[in-house]
């Protein structure tokens, strides 16, 4: 029996663990392992292939329900992660397999928000963290670990560059730190730290975890689960304040009258809650019926000094001052339901027991799960110890370790291009400068602008005329200064925007030595800045500018050698130390007299049961593949679109709208006031004239005659002939009759005018109210529908929708506010004129009664009044016409938005078309490729094809030609030595040659040779690939309710298909607002992508319900026999809302022929 001894640096220790990281099982025997690791914040992946009946198969498949940790270790280098998915299947030859996909520990921080939602609701929507990268990393991770409870160790051994990060609720911790880390010379390693394990680096590891996880860890230690968990002097149990102090359970903003258990003098506004209340869903009208005398209240600023926040507890603690704890209905109901207990877990059986427990002292209570805990001051202080940091007495329990460290200078690890230098293949790439001046343009969103205006974000100003040595301090550590640049200018102006927009431009450039470069160098280059990337893009611009000045990069593949090893340094039996390399190391590459150094960012590891272990370093911080750039573009677009949708639209100041309304109604008001003043003056002047004429109308002679008549009248009265009385009686009778006629006419005319004014006023008010309601409802429905529709489309495209949505919402709000301000002004003008006109008319009637002769004049004045009414009515009609014009503008904006939406859809389709072109190029390049090989008894020109002994037992050697195209023609030539020439050189000539056609069902050929053959030369056609394009559609059909319905299928690939990208677009005929709609793409029994959404349709039934939704999958692997199917789902009740109008399935993939 022959035993193969494998050195330590080639052994892979693969393990699967239980959920508490206390017990592990080996994954041996495995068939194949492929791993990738980068020392940054990206999620690394790997794949393990095992036999289907592997003894750990059931444990690996448990990932469907609980986390399944896995670890891989090679010569001191650890790869930690979790099982993402498992696949069990059978190959065409009957071999059954279990394929396990794993993800690295970094995924934790891609599922940890940089800022808690409660914090955003309490004090704004964003925050800014500024300082060294290590400090910002520590703060974000510690805050997230305490909020979520994830057991985490933070070890910062390298401070890193100064950074400024804008943190929002929608940002993940890893996403916030990824870009700053990529521009620095720091590295981050995320892995498990287990009990008894050595901590890397030199600093102190700060430990954070939640109270629930802390109690669980203490219980595990008490059970002896981790016997190696001893106190490590480098571990410090730390504490960090939460984003915001915890709020009372089931609290609301309202009015209460109980503070610290005592009744306040009067109710106050603040955060309200009812202690011992267990009602979660409050009925309609609950807040209107609740009595403030039974509601506890606290101000927002006092929550931070409440007992729970002071003790660092994750929940709010209600406090009663001494002598204020009394029976309440909520306390009685909770005790009767068995929901009140002590800190020891014992249930409190009655209200009397609770009152006896507290007595006349202070009381504390807090919500724990579904029940409440009631405690005395002593019990509360004792329970606080559960939440206090352990400081240096912290046992080393399992947790996620985040280690930020500097790279190692390992330029003593040398790879050489010379024979025996340890390289299979290598390449260096040098690019020319791409621009002497870099112009960056970007659009800041509403949140960033609001933060600038409020002072939350502070731009760092403008940096100009920096010398080369000073400029290094301005640039990130990774953006080194090219030697040919004499000066660096960096100019960042977030407030220097184009008029009427939020677009700003920045620049970075250098002075070029024209004597060395000549006058024909490239001048300007444009870069697009993220719309939500913060307010200080100096580092981004400078980094891009440094890259545009020309770069040198290289790639290399180490061979299987002993000059350097992967992992820790290896000591050989003779005492010689073989240096090792790890991620973060700067190594050297030598080619002749040229020596280049480069940083190792990560590695890819491949191993199988039939091949030797291969580890290739990943050099530099960026991938340069075309698919990697496409993935980065889509990721940036998704991130920008998500932030743009979450950012509020810019609000037009209320005063600006008021100024517009005042300007439009000012002329109308001034014109009416002038007309009214002139009208009133005319009436007053006319009345004064009448009075004066009546007073001065009699002359002296007439007065004497009147006196004589009076005396005659008196004489007649004395004589008994009272003619004056008779005349007066007749005059009175005539006057009464005339006055009655005048009054009747006045009342008739007044009633007609009042009725007409009231009718016009009511019609105007009703028309304006209806127009206002219709415009508001339509604007709200369209805004909501368009916002939801844009959100669904923009997730996988570009950030173009940011500006479109912002402009439409801004204009809609401007029109709405303008309408709200103009309507009251117009109504006030009508009411003012009607009231004043009525008063003036009453004055005119009173003057009419003074003299019969003024009747006609007053009648003329009425017609003047009617003309004024007609003039004002015309102005009101003009105002209504303005509103109609504004509505037409809104309709034009909606049409423009529809066109922009169609443009976005076209861009999605264009991306698929571009990807099809890329894949077609790949397939064309691989089609008809001719391979050649030269083989000797010592080896071949292709290291993948080894030289072996002949299988038939005859003397000689053989090789196997692989990846051959069935049915193709191949050629083989044998060459042998014929002796020695006079010059001493060996003479070799061709002795035999064949040209054959390979059988159509074969893909390889065994090539044999005898010992006298010096070498063999072969030429054959390699396997070709073909591109498959999917373009299928489905017509209108009815979809059943609450059931996934297949609408179209596409034939399965005949062989393994790779780089599969598919897009499904479904248009609903009449979608609704409240129902659920979903689409998904499946391959066989697998769901590749599923997308569900509500609020797809319009807000009201009057809106247009024809909406579409789409989803895209990319870079997928399709197995033979997996039929592609498109399915839809809806929960809509009516048949019309469940009707699918059309569907499109497009995409492409590459498969072997």
Confidence class of residue 1066 from pLDDT cuts 50, 70 and 90?
Answer: very high
Of 662 and 454, the structure prediction assigns the larger pLDDT to 662
Confidence class of residue 495 from pLDDT cuts 50, 70 and 90?
Answer: very low
Measured distance CA(620)–CA(868) in Å, rounded = 83
pLDDT at site 472: 43
pLDDT at site 466: 41
Q: Please check the confidence at residue 551 and state whether its pLDDT lies above 70.
A: no
Q: Please check the confidence at residue 276 and state whether its pLDDT lies above 80.
A: yes
Burial state string for 381-416 with b = 16 or more CB within 10 A and e = fewer than 16? eebbeebebeeeebbbbbbbbbbbbbbbebeebbbb
Strands (E), 937-1085: 939-940, 948-949, 957-961, 969-980, 986-997, 1005-1009, 1013-1021, 1025-1034, 1037-1038, 1045-1050, 1057-1068, 1077-1083
Q: Give the highest mean pLDDT range of 35-39, 113-117, 698-702, 803-807.
A: 35-39
pLDDT tens-digit profile of 426-457? 676 667 776 666 666 665 555 555 555 555 55
Q: Are 1126 and 1081 in contact (CB under 8 A)?
A: yes
Which residues does 912 contact at the CB level (< 8 Å), separation at least 6? 1061, 1063, 1146, 1147, 1148
CA distances from 267 to 254, 300, 499 (A): 10, 16, 50
For 497, the enclosing helix (H) or strand (E) is none
Q: Is 956 left (phi over 0), alpha (psi -120 to 50) or beta?
A: left
Average pLDDT over residues 71-96: 93
Q: Give the highest mean pLDDT range of 50-54, 633-637, 880-884, 1012-1016.
A: 50-54
Local structure of residue 52 (DSSP, 8 states): T
Mean pLDDT lowest among 5-9, 248-252, 1045-1049:
5-9
Q: Please check the confidence at residue 849 and state whether its pLDDT lies above 80.
A: no
Measured distance CA(833)–CA(259) in Å, rounded = 54
Percent of the chain clearing pLDDT 90 (strictly above):
22
SS3 573: coil
Q: How far is CA 649 from the centre of its chain?
A: 16
Rounded to 10°, the helix 654-695/855-926 angle is 170
φ/ψ of residue 369, rounded to 5: 70, -130
pLDDT tens-digit profile of 205-219? 999 887 778 888 888
pLDDT at site 57: 92
Q: In the chain, what's the furthest Cα-to-Cα distance?
A: 187
Give the position of tokens 């891009």: 544
* Closest by Cα among 437, 643, 626, 637 to 527: 437
CATH code reported for the domain at 8-109: 2.40.10.10
| Interstrand relation of 580-581 and 565-566 (parallel, antiparallel or unpaired) | parallel
Average pLDDT over residues 827-843: 48
Chain mean pLDDT for the chain: 74
pLDDT at site 20: 87
pLDDT at site 483: 38
pLDDT tens-digit profile of 376-390? 999 999 988 877 777
Q: pTM for this structure?
A: 0.50
CA distances from 783 to 779, 790, 810, 862, 1132 (A): 6, 10, 11, 50, 22
pLDDT tens-digit profile of 603-636? 888 888 888 788 888 876 554 444 444 555 556 6
Confidence class of residue 412 from pLDDT cuts 50, 70 and 90?
Answer: confident
Confidence class of residue 805 from pLDDT cuts 50, 70 and 90?
Answer: very low
Q: Please check the confidence at residue 496 and state whether its pLDDT lies above 60.
A: no
Confidence class of residue 482 from pLDDT cuts 50, 70 and 90?
Answer: very low
Q: Name the percent of the chain in helix, strand, coil, to the closest 5.
A: 35, 30, 30
Of 457 and 54, the structure prediction assigns the larger pLDDT to 54
Q: Are 987 and 977 in contact (CB under 8 A)?
A: yes
pLDDT tens-digit profile of 875-902? 667 766 665 666 566 556 556 656 666 6
Average pLDDT over residues 1037-1062: 90
* Closest by Cα among 165, 640, 276 to 443: 640
User: What's the sign of the alpha-carbon dihedral 271, 273, 278, 281?
Assistant: negative
User: What's the sign of the alpha-carbon dihedral 537, 539, 545, 548?
Assistant: negative
pLDDT tens-digit profile of 108-144? 999 888 876 655 544 455 677 888 999 999 999 988 8
Measured distance CA(126)–CA(451) in Å, rounded = 8
* Fold of the domain built from segment(s) 1025-1152: Jelly Rolls (2.60.120)
Confidence class of residue 194 from pLDDT cuts 50, 70 and 90?
Answer: very high
Burial state string for 457-493 with b = 16 or more CB within 10 A and e = fewer than 16? beeeeebeebeeeebeebbbebbebeeebeebbbbbe
Confidence class of residue 17 from pLDDT cuts 50, 70 and 90?
Answer: very high
Q: How far is CA 299 from the centre of its chain?
A: 32
| Interstrand relation of 69-74 and 45-51 (parallel, antiparallel or unpaired) | unpaired
Mean pLDDT lowest among 108-117, 531-540, 686-695, 940-949:
531-540
Q: Where are the domains of the chain?
A: 8-109, 113-239+398-406, 252-372, 434-549, 656-912, 930-1021, 1025-1152
Confidence class of residue 1082 from pLDDT cuts 50, 70 and 90?
Answer: very high
Q: Please check the confidence at residue 770 and state whether its pLDDT lies above 50.
A: yes
Confidence class of residue 184 from pLDDT cuts 50, 70 and 90?
Answer: confident
């Amino acid at each position: 029996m022959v035993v193969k001894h494998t050195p330590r640096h080639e052994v892979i220790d693969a393990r699967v663990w239980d959920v508490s990281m206390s017990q592990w099982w080996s994954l041996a025997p495995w068939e194949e392992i492929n791993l990738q690791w980068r020392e940054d914040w990206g999620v690394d992946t790997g794949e393990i292939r095992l036999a289907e009946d592997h003894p750990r198969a059931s444990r690996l498949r448990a990932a469907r329900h609980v986390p399944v940790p896995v670890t891989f270790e090679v010569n001191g280098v650890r790869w930690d992660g979790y099982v993402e998915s498992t696949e069990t299947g059978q190959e065409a030859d009957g071999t059954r397999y279990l394929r396990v996909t794993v993800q690295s520990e970094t995924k934790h921080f891609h599922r940890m928000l940089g800022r808690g939602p409660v914090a955003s609701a309490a004090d704004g929507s964003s925050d800014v963290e500024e300082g060294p990268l290590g400090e910002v990393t520590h703060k974000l991770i510690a805050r997230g670990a305490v909020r979520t409870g994830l057991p985490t160790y933070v070890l910062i051994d390298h401070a890193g560059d100064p950074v400024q990060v804008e943190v929002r609720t929608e940002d993940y911790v890893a996403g916030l730190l990824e870009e700053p880390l990529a521009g620095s010379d720091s590295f981050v390693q995320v892995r498990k730290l287990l009990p008894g394990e050595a901590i890397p680096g030199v600093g102190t590891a700060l430990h954070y975890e939640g109270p629930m996880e802390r109690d669980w860890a203490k219980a595990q230690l008490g059970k002896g689960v981790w016997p190696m968990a001893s106190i490590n002097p480098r571990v410090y149990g730390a504490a960090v304040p939460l984003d915001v102090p915890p709020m009372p359970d089931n609290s609301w903003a309202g009015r209460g009258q109980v503070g610290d258990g005592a009744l306040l003098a009067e109710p106050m506004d603040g955060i309200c809650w009812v202690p011992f209340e267990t009602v979660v869903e409050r009925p309609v009208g609950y807040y209107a019926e609740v009595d403030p005398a039974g509601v506890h209240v606290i101000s927002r600023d006092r929550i931070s000094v409440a007992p729970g926040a002071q003790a660092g507890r994750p929940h709010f603690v209600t406090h009663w001052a001494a002598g204020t704890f009394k029976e309440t209905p909520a306390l009685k109901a909770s005790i009767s339901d068995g929901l009140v207990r002590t800190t020891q877990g014992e249930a409190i059986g009655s209200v009397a027991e609770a009152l006896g427990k507290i007595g006349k002292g202070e009381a504390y209570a807090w919500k724990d799960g579904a029940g409440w805990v009631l405690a005395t001051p002593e019990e509360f202080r004792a329970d606080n110890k559960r939440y206090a940091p352990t400081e240096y007495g912290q046992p080393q329990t399992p947790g996620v370790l985040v280690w930020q460290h500097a790279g190692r200078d390992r330029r003593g690890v040398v790879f050489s291009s010379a024979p025996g230098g340890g390289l299979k293949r290598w390449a260096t790439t040098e690019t020319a400068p791409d621009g002497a001046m870099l112009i960056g343009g970007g659009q800041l969103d509403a949140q960033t602008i609001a933060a600038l205006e409020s002072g939350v974000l502070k731009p760092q100003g403008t940096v100009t005329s920096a010398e080369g040595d000073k400029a290094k301090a301005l640039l990130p550590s990774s953006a080194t200064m090219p030697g040919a640049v004499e000066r660096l200018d960096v100019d960042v102006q977030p407030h220097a925007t184009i008029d009427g927009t939020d677009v700003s431009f920045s620049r970075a450039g250098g002075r070029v030595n024209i004597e060395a470069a000549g006058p024909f160098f490239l001048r300007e280059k444009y870069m697009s800045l993220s719309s939500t990337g913060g307010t200080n893009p100096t580092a981004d611009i400078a980094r891009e500018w440094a890259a545009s000045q020309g770069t040198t990069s290289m790639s290399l593949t180490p061979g299987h050698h002993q000059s350097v090893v992967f992992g820790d340094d290896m000591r050989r039996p003779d005492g010689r130390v073989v240096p090792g390399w790890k991620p973060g190391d700067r190594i050297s590459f030598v080619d002749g007299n040229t020596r280049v150094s480069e940083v190792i960012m990560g590695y890819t590891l491949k191993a199988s049961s039939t091949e030797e272990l291969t580890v290739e370093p990943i050099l530099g911080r960026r991938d340069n593949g075309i698919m990697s750039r496409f993935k980065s573009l889509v990721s940036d677009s998704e991130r920008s679109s998500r932030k743009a949708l979450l950012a509020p639209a810019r609000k037009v100041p209320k005063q600006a709208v008021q100024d517009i309304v005042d300007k439009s109604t000012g002329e109308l008001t001034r014109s009416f006031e002038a007309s009214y003043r002139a009208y009133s003056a005319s009436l007053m002047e006319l009345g004064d004239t009448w009075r004066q004429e009546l007073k001065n109308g009699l002359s002296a002679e007439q007065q004497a005659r009147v006196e004589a008549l009076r005396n005659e009248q008196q004489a007649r009265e004395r004589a008994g002939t009272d003619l004056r009385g008779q005349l007066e009686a007749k005059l009175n009778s005539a006057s009464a009759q005339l006055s009655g006629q005048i009054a009747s006419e006045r009342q008739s005319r007044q009633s007609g005018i009042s009725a007409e004014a009231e009718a016009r006023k009511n019609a105007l008010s009703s028309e304006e109210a209806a127009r206002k309601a219709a415009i508001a409802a339509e604007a709200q429905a369209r805004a909501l529908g368009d916002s939801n529709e844009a959100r669904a489309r923009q997730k996988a495209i570009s950030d173009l929708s940011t500006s479109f949505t912002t402009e439409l919402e801004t204009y809609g709000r401007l029109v709405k506010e303008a309408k709200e301000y103009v309507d009251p002004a117009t109504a006030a003008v009508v009411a003012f004129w009607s009231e004043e006109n009525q008063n003036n008319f009453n004055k005119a009637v009173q003057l009419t009664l003074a003299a019969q002769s003024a009747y006609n004049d007053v009648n003329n004045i009425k017609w003047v009044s009617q003309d004024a009414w007609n003039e004002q009515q015309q102005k009101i009609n003009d105002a209504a016409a303005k509103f109609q014009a504004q509505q037409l503008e809104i309709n034009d904006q909606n049409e423009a938005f529809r066109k922009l939406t169609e443009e976005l859809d076209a861009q999605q389709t264009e991306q698929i078309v571009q990807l099809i072109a890329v894949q077609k190029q790949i397939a064309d390049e691989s089609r008809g490729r001719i391979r050649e090989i030269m083989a000797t008894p010592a080896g071949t020109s292709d290291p993948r094809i080894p030289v072996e002994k002949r299988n038939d037992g005859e003397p000689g050697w053989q090789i196997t030609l692989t990846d051959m195209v069935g049915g193709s023609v191949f050629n083989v030539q044998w060459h042998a030595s014929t002796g020695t020439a006079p010059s001493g050189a060996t003479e070799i000539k061709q002795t035999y040659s064949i040209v054959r056609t390979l059988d159509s069902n074969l893909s390889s050929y065994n090539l044999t040779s005898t010992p006298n053959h010096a070498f063999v030369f072969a030429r054959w056609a390699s396997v070709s690939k073909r591109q498959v394009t999917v373009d299928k559609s489905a017509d209108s059909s009815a979809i059943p309710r609450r059931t996934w319905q297949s609408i179209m299928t596409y034939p399965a690939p005949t062989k393994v298909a790779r780089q599969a990208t598919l897009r499904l677009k479904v248009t609903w005929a009449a979608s609704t607002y409240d129902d659920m709609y979903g689409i998904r793409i499946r391959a066989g029994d697998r769901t590749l992508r599923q997308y569900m959404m509500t609020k797809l349709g319009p807000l009201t039934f009057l809106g247009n319900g024809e909406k579409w939704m789409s989803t895209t999958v990319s870079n997928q692997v399709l197995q033979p026999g997996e039929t592609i199917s498109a399915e839809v789902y809806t929960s809509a009740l009516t048949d019309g809302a469940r009707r699918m109008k059309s569907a499109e399935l497009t995409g492409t993939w590459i498969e072997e022929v």
